Amino acid sequence: DTGVSQDPRHKITKRGQNVTFRCDPISEHNRLYWYRQTLGQGPEFLTYFQNEAQLEKSRLLSDRFSAERPKGSFSTLEIQRTEQGDSAMYLCASSLGVKTEAFFGQGTRLTVV
């Protein structure tokens, strides 16, 4: 068990481009979460999945953001038409069922230039 894995670790993109991040949770963890962390702030919840179902989306997740978790395994987070305000660390976490702790990946740092 290698923990939660995120790819890429760093991404620099030009404004207006689309980007996609991948998260591989700990195997058998049925819950998967995405958070966004901007400089000097704590992580903010974006969305979460239970198996393949996306159960909740934050108001922070504009129409340009979409997340998927096909087959309830890995997840992808896509940002379309990136803006400078999207620059942040995107963190993925997974947990096994309810009332159990979430384990975080190392994050993907996005810089939009």
Cβ atoms < 10 Å from Cβ of 22: 14
In the bound state with other proteins, the residue whose beta carbon lies nearer, of 46 and 79, is 46
Q: Which residues are CB-neighbours of 85 under 8 A, at least 6 positions away?
A: 112
- 4 forms part of the interface with other proteins (CB under 8 A): yes
Structure tokens at 65: 């953001």
- 67 forms part of the interface with other proteins (CB under 8 A): no
Among 42, 59, 63, 71, binds other proteins (CB under 8 A): 42
Among 65, 105, 110, 112, binds other proteins (CB under 8 A): 105
Structure tokens at 97: 């069922």
Among 1, 40, 63, 70, binds other proteins (CB under 8 A): 40
- 70 forms part of the interface with other proteins (CB under 8 A): no
Q: Is 43 helix (H, G, I), strand (E, B) or coil?
A: coil
Among 56, 68, 78, 83, binds other proteins (CB under 8 A): 56
Interacting stretch for other proteins, rule CB under 8 A, among 14-22, 42-50, 59-67, 72-80?
42-50
The Cα–Cα gap between 9 and 13 comes to: 13
The Cα–Cα gap between 15 and 93 comes to: 27
